[in-house]
Each structure stands twice: as C-alpha cells, then as structure tokens.
Amino acid sequence: MRRSIAELCGSDHHNNPAILARWLANKTPENFTAWIAEKDNRMFVAVENDAVLAVGAVRTNGEVTLNYVSPDARFRGVSRAMLARLEATAQAFGNDESRLVSTETARRFYLSAGYRQVGAPEGKFGTTSSYPMVKRFAAGDERP
C-alpha cells in the first residue's frame, strides 16, 4: 500500500515530500492490524503465489476505505476484481450503494466502474483533489 501511494499516485502528491509524509504517516503495521480487527471493517487482499498484489477495505455501512494495487500488478484487472469484491460485501450488508473518496489517480477508474462524483473535491493530506463518489447498485445486481 505504501508503494502504491508513493509510486502510483504522483498525480495526487506530485512527489511533494511533505504531502507524501502526511499521507503515509498512518499507514503503519500497527494501524493496519487495528483496521483488520475493527468489527465494522472487512479487509481483503489479492494474492498471487507469495505476493500480495492489492489490498482493499469496506465498512459494513458501504464505505470503501482502501483500494490499493501493487505497482508490480498494475493494469492486470486486480483493482477491478477487488472493487467487485468490496461492492459485493457492501451489498451483502444490505447497502444500496457504496461510497468512497477517490484519488486523482483512480478517478477515471471509478467513473468507468459506475461511480459518480457527489459534492466538491476535498483536499486530503495536502493533495490537490480527492473526489467524493457514490455508486448505486442496480436492483438486479446479484448478492453473494
């Protein structure tokens, strides 16, 4: 996840060390362990052999809080598969929609996955733009 932010999200942090430091500050093994343990959180990894290719998390209220792919696995459909899993989990908890705040880097990806922007862009960690987005699940979408 730290590599994903540092190496892939240049459109957001513009290699500004202060922004990157703020963004990475809470991405520690201790915090990760706590996020996994949170009872309203569900966290997933995509794995190939011994390598973790991506990590994603969704809250039981339908909020997607993490979706990061390894730079070694970009553009292989891993994030698309991860997002499908996160959305299926949100639906399984009875949500009609999922919400997230997208990076500039991932904005096009989410638009093509059916999300729309809601409200004004926010600045996170000093980045220029983070986009609140929502996707309403179609009535016929399958539940897992």
Ligand X SMILES: CC(C)(COP(=O)(O)OP(=O)(O)OC[C@H]1O[C@@H](n2cnc3c(N)ncnc32)[C@H](O)[C@@H]1OP(=O)(O)O)[C@@H](O)C(=O)NCCC(=O)NCCS
Contacts with ligand X, residue ranges (CB under 6 A):
4, 8-9, 67-69, 74-80, 100, 102-103, 105-106, 108-109, 112
Q: Give min distance, CB of 124 to ligand X, in A.
A: 10
Q: Give min distance, CB of 79 to ligand X, in A.
A: 3
Q: Which is nearer to ligand X, 7 or 38 (CB)?
A: 7
Closest-CA residue to 135 (of 70, 58, 23, 68): 58
Q: Give min distance, CB of 58 to ligand X, in A.
A: 12
Q: Which is nearer to ligand X, 61 or 94 (CB)?
A: 61
Q: Convert the chain into a string of H (helix), E (strand) and C (coil).
A: CHHHHHHHCHHHHCCCHHHHHHHHCCCCHHHHHHHHHCCCEEEEEEEECCEEEEEEEEECCCEEEEEEECHHHCCCCHHHHHHHHHHHHHHHCCCCEEEEEECCCCHHHHHHCCCEECCCCECCCCCCCEEEEEEECCCCCCCC
Q: Which is nearer to ligand X, 91 or 102 (CB)?
A: 102
Q: Which is nearer to ligand X, 11 or 60 (CB)?
A: 11
Q: Give min distance, CB of 77 to ligand X, in A.
A: 4
Q: Which is nearer to ligand X, 91 or 107 (CB)?
A: 107
Closest-CA residue to 38 (of 12, 1, 3, 63): 63
Q: Give min distance, CB of 31 to ligand X, in A.
A: 16
